[in-house]
Chains A and B, each alone.
Chain A
């Protein structure tokens, strides 16, 4: 007989959950075990990682338990065991580092062949975006640094080899006595491309993941709204709250992405800042990742649900809507944290996580969760 998870978790109840920082909120981990769906990892005291789990009853509040205790209270899937040990070894906990580790686990087949193929494609596509972004940065550098009277064709019409040569020339021209040598600046540009791979450039010419995720969230909430409007009053109310939660998140994410992309408007200045104080650059870049962390899975839940399963999907989505920590208010221009708190309070009535005594071992929920890994790789 399965142990009563709720009773076991009660020891770890954390009362009212009001994280002030993203790090305190934790990073979403794409678990496949039904009891762990929506779980997050965060650094605890002395950097020992902790697992943050939503209350399985769907009520307000979370359970916070040592990361090492995960297998003690429910039998994790093979996939989750692998993720559990890989993430445990991460030096830095960010949405991107967790996503990269999770992709590697999925690519090895722990969540099945579909998820493995999707993880490989997603990994390849991230690398492609990085290369593309690097090229765009070179183009931008040439546009910004070459004199208008150079007589050369616009860089976007030139060959990649010429663009690189012209970019080096620009870097040499910009160099003052003790400033950055061109080779170091080129290295810095490579690193910047990696850092900005998710946010991309304004207008998203590289197909970066985060602006695309914003579009995905916007598309899904439109569908959720249409579903709610055509349904019962309860469905309408639930869908409105989900839409509100997504809209608050998108408002913040757009500000975060715009601020991050604005840094690329002065490439030479950015390269310098990157060499001197990379954290000041990264903090702006990572805001979007943190804000949208968890929404990929929420969208996948909707996408994977059949028409007759929309209500069930909406209830699970309600349980996964992430808190917006107070730190966001300092830069997004409105009380995002308060607005999200109010929305989540309303969503409380519709949250549904794993039902008590649900036999996840029959595999249907696991299969669905593995499918989510394939959709949201």
Chain B
């Protein structure tokens, strides 16, 4: 990719780091702001460092021609800095020129599609399917054989254009089938959808099949099943399936520590489902099995860390502050209870990864700590009351522990 001027590169780098560390709301605002820009230019790189979190948060993004065009390839798109020649992936810097090219060549069709995008977001999966069906196949035919003028602006060689276009064409050609399976990712996707999509792309060769697999596994709740279906299609597809699994195993874990509790729980829940699916996948053995076990351990630790940090931030700290406060509002108690419920959800997910004893120990410690506070609570509606603490214990540890706390003297 063509290097940016040093000052701009430094600024983009700094902004990217700050964005990656920002809280969920701030990150959502940055994304919204960048999505509102007509020409994002280098600003797009700001999000590169936060892609991992964006994958976990999946904020609703406004639909536009370029986004709909490349949604069936989502998952096969990587940061230009990580792109390697010969890899069945598409560098992000190629997206804008390719979209521009297709848009110019499609003319009226593209205009109609753009009008249809108005007010829609990436959460409108059916609308993406409807709009995509209007121009994905046409887009496949619209790409010229040779690199268009100005391609060098992407920082890529002219020969790279040929390889990238060769990946895009079959995926757009089969965009409808591919997107049907991707849109049903949360449900697996169901095997018939996976099979239909991969069978349609497979004749185009191993590279497009790899890209299709990358797109499918990125959204799949059951990536192992996707790989299994691919491996069963044809002996030649087995290698692509294993490569797809390698990418899944290489994927960094969601940064639970940077996500709020709701997003962390949802992300951890998705991760657990994916790991459990991978453990059922017969393509994973030997070294891959060891890597998978390592992932599970890391996920377990990340979950426990997030849980412990959450207990401190959502329960212990606010409870301590409310004990010291002159007045305690109903809203602040409700917020603390809501945090406790989210933690309970995270704990339920975390226990599926192991570490049950750690959760038991943490909850016992919490109960003890809250029980120590109980005798110092007040009686009026403006105080933090023993009942408020008992309810926290009930939410996190169950009604028996809460009953014991209420019955304790003091």
Is B341 a contact of A364 with CB atoms below 8 Å?
Answer: yes
**Residues of chain B within 8 A of A112, CB atoms compared:** 334, 337, 391
Q: Are A113 and B330 in contact (CB under 8 A)?
A: yes
Q: A interface, how many residues as a size bin?
A: 10 to 19
Q: Does residue B333 face the partner (Cβ distance < 8 Å to A)?
A: yes
Q: Complex formed: what's the CA distance from A255 to B111 in Å?
A: 65
Instruction: Name the contact of B400 in the complex, choosing from A75, A108, A362 (C-beta under 8 A).
Output: A75
A363 and B395 form a contact (CB under 8 A):
yes
Distance, CA A81 to CA B407, complexed state (A): 12
Q: How far is the CA of A78 from the CA of B391 in the complex (A)?
A: 8
Q: How far is the CA of A233 from the CA of B11 in the complex (A)?
A: 59
Q: Which residue of A lies closest to B343 (CB)?
A: A363
Given contacts A78-B394, A78-B406, A363-B341, contact A110 B387 (CB under 8 A): yes
B395 to A, closest residue via Cβ: A363
Q: Mark B382-403, 1 if CB is under 8 A from A, else 0.
A: 0001011011001100111011
B348 on the A face (CB < 8 A): yes
A78 is contacted by which of B340, B341, B399 (Cβ under 8 Å)? B399
Q: Judge if B354 is at the interface, Cβ distance under 8 Å.
A: no
Contact with B along A350-368 (1 / 0, CB 8 A): 0000000001011110010
A109 in contact with B387 given A77-B394, A362-B345, A362-B348 (CB within 8 Å) = yes
Q: Would A78 and B348 be within 8 Å (CB), given that A113-B330, A363-B395 are in contact?
A: no
Shortest C-beta distance, B104 to chain A (Å), equals: 41
Known: A359-B348, A362-B348. A117 touches B330 (CB 8 A): yes
Interface string of B352-387 (1 = CB under 8 A from A): 000000000000000000000000000000000101
CB pair B341–A109 under 8 Å, yes or no, is no
| A76 at the binding interface (Cβ < 8 Å) | yes
B344 within 8 A of A: yes
- A140, CB-defined interface residue at 8 Å: no
Contact A81 B399 (CB under 8 A): yes
B391 close to A114 (CB less than 8 A): no
Chain B interface size range: 20 to 34
Tell me the bound Cα distance from A68 to B398 in angstroms: 20
* Closest-CB distance, B45 to chain A (whole angstroms): 37
The answer, among B337, B344, B390, B391, for a CB contact under 8 Å with A361, is B344
A363 touches B344 (CB 8 A): yes
Q: Bound complex: CA of A110 vs CA of B406, how far in Å? A: 11
Name B398's contact: one of A109, A110, A114, A361 (CB within 8 Å): A361
**Which of chain A's residues have a CB closer than 8 A to the CB of B400?**
75
Most chain B CB inside 10 Å of its own CB: which residue of A81, A117, A359, A362: A362
Given contacts A75-B398, A81-B399, A363-B344, contact A114 B387 (CB under 8 A): no
If A363-B341, A364-B341 touch, whether A113 touches B394 (CB-CB below 8 Å) is no
Contacts of B390 in A (CB 8 A): 78
A357 to chain B, nearest CB (A): 13
Q: Are A362 and B344 in contact (CB under 8 A)?
A: yes
> Per a CB cutoff under 8 Å, which of B340, B348, B391 touches A109?
B391
Residue in chain A with minimal CB distance to B345: A362
Residues of A within 8 A of B394 (CB): 77-78
Closest 5 CB pairs of A and B: A109-B387, A113-B330, A363-B341, A78-B394, A78-B402
Give the B-binding residues of A (Cβ under 8 A): 75-78, 81, 108-110, 112-114, 117, 359, 361-364, 367
24 CB-based A-B contacts, threshold 8 Å: A75-B400, A77-B394, A77-B399, A78-B394, A78-B402, A78-B403, A78-B406, A81-B403, A108-B387, A109-B388, A110-B387, A113-B330, A113-B333, A114-B334, A117-B330, A359-B348, A361-B348, A362-B348, A363-B341, A363-B344, A363-B395, A364-B341, A364-B345, A367-B341
